[in-house]
Amino acid sequence: MILKVNATRMELLQMKKKLIIAKKGHKLLKDKEDELMRQLLEMIKSIRELRKEVENEISSVVGRYQFAKASMNKETEDEIFLIPTKKINISVREKNLMSVRVPEFTKEVEGKIRSYGYAFTSGELDASLLALDKIMEKVVSLAEKEKTIQLLADEIEKTRRRVNALEYIMIPNIEDTIKYISQRLAEMERSNTTRLMKVKDIVRAH
Amino acid sequence: MANKIAAIGKRDAILPYKAIGVEIYITEEKNEFKTIIEKLVKEEYAIVLVTEEIAEKYADIIKEYNEYMIPSIIPVPGTEGSTGYGARRLREAVKKAVGADIYAE
């Protein structure tokens, strides 16, 4: 598609400048996309394993907890969780990955699980809670990685759209326009020459 | 900054988290879920664990916070074991970005 411009030498120069900038931008964005993609692929490998591990372990903990629950009455269950003595805080740091802001989580733990008496609870309960506590480390890292992947994926999509817009619309349009203007200018020059020749002939005939 | 972890889901599936220091919110109802998520986002929770059944049911609510840096909302298996939604969600994100399904093994 030819852009709406006047076919003048001025416009031609401007178009040529624009083309150079568009090409430079295209190259930069393309590089960015490639690098983001590389990061994403790297993360996918590790997260697939991690996700599976976490899922399996949590499923088994929840299952064991159901067993533990079966052997106590509801009041005891409520009591156990009434006042948790343990606290998990996550300190969040921001990391810059190719100008995408991604979080980095570190786990900080305060206190121990012991918030209930051992007399009315089963060993199964202790075991399942301990196991869950152990998994938390992985859960935190899973949360960090999943967020990163999500943010990267969004950014890649955005970047790719920009690259495509430049590659398939902006740059071809400018190139077409440049061609159009230079042809128009050449045509104008030819018509000028013939007119001059014609005028000369008329002048000579007198 | 120090931020907290929360878990949302059915009582049986998330109660154990309370003992290890995760804040729990028991709900299965859509509007309630929405208000809880909004509250957690406002208070800058770092991680929100949501049981898979609920995460899948209310995926559109969770999606709104995809581009926020925190919280990281991730699905975890509930009482029925893993439904595979967590993996499926990741796979979607990757498919959207790469344009090809490369998450599968």
pLDDT in the model for residue A163: 94
Asked if residue A3 is part of any domain, the answer here is no
Number of domains in chain B: 1
Put simply, the chain A residues between 56 and 85 with a CB less than 8 A from any chain B CB are 56, 58-59, 61-63, 65-66, 69, 77, 80-81, 84
Q: Quick check: B69 and A69 CB within 8 A?
A: no
Asked if residue A205 is part of any domain, the answer here is no
Q: Quick check: A103 and B70 CB within 8 A?
A: yes
CATH code (residue A53): 1.10.287.3240
**Secondary structure string (H, E, C) spanning chain A:** CCCCCCCCHHHHHHHHHHHHHHHHHHHHHHHHHHHHHHHHHHHHHHHHHHHHHHHHHHHHHHHHHHHHHHCCCHHHHHHHCCCCCCEEEEEEEEEEECCEEEEEEEEEEECCCCCCCCCCCCHHHHHHHHHHHHHHHHHHHHHHHHHHHHHHHHHHHHHHHHHHHHHHHHHHHHHHHHHHHHHHHHHHHHHHHHHHHHHHHHHHHC
Number of domains in chain A: 1
Asked if residue A114 is part of any domain, the answer here is yes
Q: Best residue in B3, B5, B43, B85 to probe A by mutation, most A CBs within 10 Å? A: B5
Distance (Å) from the alpha carbon of A117 to chain B's nearest alpha carbon: 13
* ipTM exceeding the 0.90 mark: no
Q: Which domain holds residue B66?
A: 5-98
Distance (Å) from the alpha carbon of B63 to chain A's nearest alpha carbon: 10
Asked if residue B105 is part of any domain, the answer here is no
Q: How far is CA A56 from CA A48, A206, B29, B77, B83, in A?
A: 13, 104, 27, 8, 11
Asked if residue A103 is part of any domain, the answer here is yes
Asked if residue A4 is part of any domain, the answer here is no
Q: Which domain holds residue A162?
A: 9-199
Nearest residue of B to residue A94, measured between CA atoms: B69
Asked if residue A204 is part of any domain, the answer here is no
- E strand or H helix that includes residue B1: none
CATH code (residue B27): 3.40.50.10580
Q: What is the pLDDT along chain A (206 residues), one digit of tens a residue?
A: 888 888 889 999 999 999 999 999 999 999 999 999 888 888 888 888 888 888 888 888 888 888 877 777 777 777 777 777 777 888 888 888 888 888 888 888 777 766 666 666 777 777 888 888 888 888 888 888 888 888 888 889 899 999 999 999 999 999 999 999 999 999 999 999 999 999 999 999 88
Distance between CA B22 and CA B19 in Å, rounded? 7
